[in-house]
Structure 1
Amino acid sequence: MNDNQLLRQQLTELLQKSYAHVYFEQAIEGLDLKSIGTQVPHLPYTIWQLAEHIRIAQQDMLNFSENKNYQPLNWPEDYWPKEAAPENEQEWQNTLAEIKKSRSVFTALINDEQLDLLKPFPHGEGQSLFREAVMIIDHLSYHTGQIVLIRRLLENWKG
């Protein structure tokens, strides 16, 4: 295995699971709809808002990576839902499915050997596929930790 293949493999593993801490699927496992939308005092977001933010931002990073005609979203209003909770269980499940789907599509990009991981995108300001992969990994990890914190504060965490 050459260095390029090894880098792709390691990025893929970091996108799909975690080694040093809880990964996203573990953090949301067993959540009920009430907990998802519960506002904890002194925190500006609910678990729902964090998950929906992850979905939106991750899809945005994927769009940026795939589309030379990318149009940026407005920060912060386009990245955060206003509602504290999903309308129903189906909306929650759709968000989770979209997070998984965009991560899967991005993983396929990472593993496309026709694409240079380090070559800057022509439509960016030096960003590359590697940078966007690291951003997705970092972003998902950061907000997963926040989800775990909220679950601890709600006394809804057994980790």
Structure 2
Amino acid sequence: MGDTVVGVYYRPPDQEEEVNEAFYRELEVASRSLAFIFIGDFNCPDICWKGNTARHAQSRRFLQSIDDNFLTQVVEEPTRRGVLLDLVLTNKEGLVEDVKAGGSLGCSDHEMVEFRNLRGRSRAISRITTLDLEKLILASSKTCLGESHGLGL
């Protein structure tokens, strides 16, 4: 089924333009994945998602980046004080479904966003490798001592 790349991002409201542009470059690279989900608080309260418009240049640049990378924003409900700040972006239609905003985690003033990843149906395979030191020592001992000595290693 392939890999799904998941990214998480927090953009402070006063983030410098240079950092924004670096983020857009990274977003472009990541969005080339076959299946990409990007979650975060992007702090662009002036965006009208229904019309895909914004009052501030910084938010318009964010919308342009989403459009340039063929991403879709799937959260429809406000996530903080009646404003949609927390977003889920994806590059594949139907990859994310059952998106819901509601409730809070701990003392956060943001609503939690829950969704279902449709590619997550198969068992996840970790690419993290853990060394089995016991097997390594045993194999090393066999090499040093040789199995022909009747040691049963």
Larger relative contact order (C-alpha < 8 A, sep ≥ 6)? 1
Q: Which is greater in Rg?
A: 2
TM-score (norm 1): 0.24
Higher helix share: 1
